[in-house]
Amino acid sequence: MTRLVVDGYNIIHAWPDLARSMRAESLEDARRRLVTRLAEYRASTGNEVLVVFDARRRSAGSPGREVIEGVEVWYGSSQESADHVIERLMYESSRRGTGLEMVLATDDHLQRDLVRAKGVPTMSSRVLLAEVQRAEGERSGEIRRRGEGLAAGDRLESRLDPEVRRQLEAIRRGETDARVGEGESATGPSGPPQQPGSRRDPPPRERPRTRWRRLR
């Protein structure tokens, strides 16, 4: 499993839709949109995602670290910028020998050079955007197929006889037919089951009595 580390504000400025959101609405809205899109990427790929933002633009009262929709969100501090947080993470990962399990997404060329020198792969904002868009497409396709499958099942079941639907529902719940055990066996009202193609012989017919006339 890969851990994707995202230089938050760098990506916001690099992605056109997030940059427009930041200008037209607010930086907080752009942050929320970025985290939401990265959550889709995480759900589709199973990779861990960590976004690091600078502290100076952090909302008042917000925690230094939080998890939003499965995405880790870290903020720098007055003593440590987002760049320093990222570099420290990569340094620690490199010392543990897990540098190849991390990927840094940023357009900061200096930071990418420093991180690559520690043996950690990097990607540009354009590559990250392509990866996220691909994951969003796969995710929406999966949801659409699941919805179509449920709709098809509903249409099929709606055409069934009500008694058949009741029996299917009983099977789903693990219930048996209520008639079994109430005096009626599963093989029929009485007697053993007949072999296919056989029929019961009719009862023997009573012979008519012969009347004898007395001869004189």
Highest-scoring range by mean pLDDT, 32-41, 73-82, 90-99, 182-191? 32-41
Average pLDDT across the chain, whole number: 80
What are the domain boundaries of the chain?
3-130
* SS3 label, residue 215: coil
- Please report the pLDDT score of residue 180 as a whole number: 44
**What are 102-135's pLDDT values in tens digits?**
999 999 999 999 999 999 999 999 999 999 999 9
Tens-digit pLDDT profile for residues 152-209: 555 556 666 777 777 777 776 775 554 444 444 444 445 555 555 555 556 666 655 5
pTM, rounded to two decimals? 0.65
Give the span between the Cα atoms of 28 and 212, in whole angstroms. Answer: 118
Task: Please provide residue 179's backbone torsions phi and psi, each rounded to the nearest 5 degrees.
Answer: -70, -30
- Burial grade of 58 (CB within 10 A; 0-12, 13-18, 19 or more): middle
Instruction: Say if residue 78's pLDDT is above 50.
Output: yes
Residue 116 CB: number of other CB atoms within 10 A? 14
CATH 2.20.28 fits 3-130, yes or no: no
